[in-house]
A and B are shown apart, each in its own frame.
Chain A
């Protein structure tokens, strides 16, 4: 089974801090994704990556950056955390072919105080 591991289930940070969310997958997937999930807004794509050192902006990249130095690891960075970034963050990965699904981690519930 594919395993996507997010480093923290719950995280509490303060406004203005630089926050790192880590995601690791163990199945050699080319594609990795970061979403945030908020009540009533569904899943919104922040960034994605098709390969090592590659990144593409999703629908809501403002205030975030990402890093993919190794194929199995995709990090989401909040440069200067703000209260409106309090959310559930979901990491996902997938193989390249179109018939392949995304596999999700358990999520990180991030609170910015």
Chain B
């Protein structure tokens, strides 16, 4: 069946460091791909999305490219801030209207 695998955390970075959180997926057909962010005590917020191969989603300095050849959707940010500390979830929606989530990666950014 379809699934999402993302790198396990926790990840700790210094402010202004480069961030990569890896995400790979398994799906038939052409799913849409999403990154969500969850701050402590809150629900998930949509961070960015890409709906077809080679699309790049971007928001708030984060970006991810839909790579069908490697079935990946890695999240990157060039310079993280303390306020980026949160849990990040990779997700897909398949053509059967089902959603699948990764297990989440906790990021802590230290000043």
Contact = CB atoms under 8 A, between A and B. Distances in A.
Contacts of B93: 94, 98-102
B90 to A, nearest CB: 11
A50 interface: yes
B62 interface: no
A107 B99 contact: no
Contact of A98 (B31, B42, B104): B31
A103 interface: yes
Interface residues of A, number: 23
Interface size class of B (residues with CB under 8 A): 20 to 34
Tell me the interface secondary structure of chain A in the complex.
strand
Contacts of B95: 98
B31 A42 contact: no
B97 A99 contact: no
Interface in A76-109: 90, 92, 94, 96, 98-107, 109
5 contacts: A33-B99, A99-B51, A101-B32, A104-B44, A109-B41
Interface of B: 30-32, 34, 36, 41-46, 49, 51, 89, 91, 93-95, 97, 99, 101-104
Interface of A: 4, 6, 31, 33, 42-43, 45, 50, 90, 92, 94, 96, 98-107, 109
